[in-house]
A and B are shown apart, each in its own frame.
Chain A
Amino acid sequence: MVIAIGFEGSANKIGIGIIRDGEVLANVRKTYITPPGSGFLPKETAEHHRNQVLGLIREALDVSKIYPNEIDVVCYTKGPGMAPPLLAVAIVARTIAQLWNKPILGVNHCIGHIEMGRLITGAQNPTVLYVSGGNTQVIAYSNKRYRIFGETIDIAIGNCLDRFARVIKISNDPSPGYNIEQLAKKGKKYYTLPYAVKGMDVSFSGILSEIGRKALPQKATKKRKLDQEDVNELPSHEDLCYSLQETIFAMLVEITERAMAHCGSNEVLIVGGVGCNERLQEMMGIMCEERGAKLFATDERFCIDNGIMIAHAGYEMFRTGTRMKWNDATITQRFRTDEVEINWEVGKV
């Protein structure tokens, strides 16, 4: 039996999770929410995490009814992410490991998402779509690595959504993406946006500029005059949110389908913060049905960054013999999914 505690704080969420052999004992989280029209910055986010982390550890211990001496391994997010918040959380994890005299393991954030998704949904060897505020990747397992088949070549999909939410100044509570999703449900008219799939990769920054121009034509530059259609009537926020979602989700479904065809896979797993968008799940579901494939997705407790996914990925690593030297318990802003060797079993190989 292995009990692992996980510390996650690579972006604006700070989460602590405790897991015992795949059984979730505690999963607590706090989100740093900024006012409408503004995003979260590294320094302020780190300060938020520093203020919240100790209270959350206490809460996680209370909820799980686990004593520190029962814990086998302390896991934390090594990267990728913003350095100041990562560092704040890593310092606490290291101090805790020293105080309780437990081994420490740095976990790749993306691997955390994938393993958590597999644990919750029971997907065996899925094609993974990992979509969040900082990452957009299509991933499949092959020969001891999670290989990246396609990804964004500029900004992440969640970043595109968050920044559009800032353009039209909607609330960041509980999350900008959730509020866009609610507005989009009321959208009726589809505005044409660029569709930017480049081979297996996608691009969102041009789409963001274009929809920004549509939302605020007064800010558009003279260089790129708007279509007559757009000037006559200002598009509603609902229609814009709807058009944006439909376009960018269609791009994701396309590259996911191509990755599935390439791998001969009949399972799709959606993970990451954007993965709890029900419209994305619906669109992916239609594609899967047409192909006779199965879709796996989770809800916001496990999709959005959380401590339990770090604990679980750390548990898999620990169980299969991965150990970390103390001097390697650092953080790194860049840490690609395919840098991690996977020593545990993933489906049928």
Chain B
Amino acid sequence: MEDIKVSLVIPFPTKRAAQIAYDVLRIDPEPKRNHIKKHYELNENNLKVEFIGDIAKNVRVALTNFYESIILCVETQKQFGPPVSEEYSHY
């Protein structure tokens, strides 16, 4: 059976805002038993995320979790932004 593939492109107001969401979200590994492959890509002010998995239910769960996380990240940026620097300068 062929894999299920979902890709999302999320536009941000600035390149830095997209960069923050990318860095904040990309470092968490998907739970192993979910068997989902997740790729993040940063393209100017667009964040592209791709979910690949063979069970529809797992893909849906991964997507729901992703939405919850990115909404939280965007909301935090809205309330405590804008970023003070053009790049993150710690390790």
Contact = CB atoms under 8 A, between A and B. Distances in A.
Interface string A84-118: 00011011101111111111100000000000000
Contacts, number: 83
B68 A98 contact: no
A88 B81 CA distance: 18
Nearest to B87: A101
Contacts of B80: 54, 57, 68, 95-96, 99-100
Given A326-B23, A327-B27, A330-B29, A99 B72 contact: no
How many chain A residues sit at the interface, stated as a range, is: 20 to 34
A198 interface: no
Contact of B90 (A54, A58, A87, A326): A326
Contacts of B84: 68-69, 99-101
Contacts of B82: 99
Contact of A330 (B23, B28, B76, B88): B28
Q: Which applies to chain A's interface (DSSP): helix, strand, loop or mixed?
A: helix
A98 B83 contact: yes
Interface string A259-276: 000000000000000000
B85 A101 contact: yes
Interface in A55-90: 57-58, 68-69, 87-88, 90
Nearest to B29: A330
Contacts of A99: 20, 76-77, 80-84
Interface in B22-71: 23-25, 27-29, 68-69
Given A101-B83, A326-B91, A54 B27 contact: no
B76 A92 contact: yes
B79 A91 contact: no
A103 B91 contact: yes
Contacts of A340: none
A161 to B, nearest CB: 30
Interface of B: 20, 23-25, 27-29, 68-69, 72-73, 75-77, 79-85, 88-91
13 contacts: A54-B80, A57-B79, A69-B84, A95-B24, A95-B73, A97-B88, A99-B80, A103-B90, A323-B90, A326-B27, A326-B88, A326-B90, A330-B28
User: Closest 10 CB pairs between A and B?
Assistant: A103-B90, A95-B76, A101-B85, A94-B24, A98-B20, A99-B83, A95-B73, A95-B24, A325-B91, A54-B79
